[in-house]
Structure 1
Amino acid sequence: MPIGGSALAQDSISISSDWGNVTAVLADNESARALADMLPLTIEMDDHLRQEKTGNLPSALPAVSRQREFSAGTLGLWSSGDFVIYYRDGRVPSPGIVILGQVQGDVSIFDRPGRVTVKIDSMK
């Protein structure tokens, strides 16, 4: 098998907080690669609609295709700089979200009201 391909595109990140720690696999798109280039990050996140935590990135990520459905554990991008961790399944209005990755651990650690500070770092 040649060097490269999707196996190398599957970068993993850690997301840690006072509420617990999870890992996630980044999506294979330009936005997720730009997020990986920003790491490490510390983001203050607020609860939104009792389905997600949202926080502002230090700068905008490139636009790529969007989708409206998400599942618990989806990492997304709402506006160009609005990072989202979904802890419930659901659907968003148009234009949808950019998929940045998928949490591999128990995302329910974020299923509580209030703010949380998360630290995101590469696992390379």
Structure 2
Amino acid sequence: MRIRLTIDGQSADGTLNDSPAARDLAGLLPLALKLEDFHGTERIGYPPRKLTTDGAPQPSAAKAGDLAYYAPWGNLAIFYQDGPAPSADLLILGHLDAPAEQLARTERITIEPTT
């Protein structure tokens, strides 16, 4: 699924994968999130509810530009640096076509489906 992002007033595109968690996120769109920095590698924000983790894919390490869901905390993570080693708790939901520098400094993001 293609998505459109508004990052600090600028548009960017992205793609959600076909995982159950990504489809669950798609059902919440449009979604506006306030973001904060976490560990100097990602920006995190909290959707209005936890996403499903049923049928989660095999763990993989997050790369810069990835949109992920950290199940224990219920937060979305937007990586602007490559992430840590693969973890079963971190579900990759898709990828954002935005420069890492832009992702690193954003404080607010809106995610909506494209038509």
Q: 1:61 to 1:51 in 2, by over 3 A?
A: same
Q: 1:67 aligns with which of 44, 59, 84?
A: 59
Residue 5 of structure 1 is matched in structure 2 by none
The 8 Å contact of residues 66 and 97 in structure 1, kept in 2 or not, is answered as no
Q: 1:78 aligns with which of 49, 70, 77?
A: 70
Provide the secondary structure at the position in 2 that maps to 1:15. Answer: strand
Q: Which amino acid aligns with 1:95?
A: A
Residue 108 of structure 1 is matched in structure 2 by 101
Cα displacement (A) at 1:92:
4.6
The 8 Å contact of residues 19 and 109 in structure 1, kept in 2 or not, is answered as no
Q: Which amino acid aligns with 2:37?
A: D
Q: Which amino acid aligns with 1:77?
A: Y
**Larger Cα-atom Rg:** 1
Cα displacement (A) at 1:106:
1.9
Cα displacement (A) at 1:105:
2.9
Residue 37 of structure 2 is matched in structure 1 by 47
Cα displacement (A) at 1:65:
3.0
TM-score (norm 1): 0.80
CA distance in structure 1 between the partners assigned to 2:8 and 2:65 by the alignment? 18
Cα displacement (A) at 1:22:
1.8
Aligned Cα root-mean-square deviation (Å) = 1.9
Identity percentage of aligned residues: 28
Q: How does 1:5-24 map to 2 (within 5 A)?
A: 11-18=1-8, 20-24=10-14
Q: Which amino acid aligns with 2:109?
A: V
CA distance in structure 2 between the partners assigned to 1:36 and 1:102 by the alignment? 14
TM-score (norm 2): 0.85
1:122 aligns with 2:110: no
CA distance in structure 2 between the partners assigned to 1:19 and 1:107 by the alignment? 16
Give the length in aligned residue pairs: 112
Residue 91 of structure 2 is matched in structure 1 by 98
Q: 1:30 aligns with which of 14, 20, 27?
A: 20
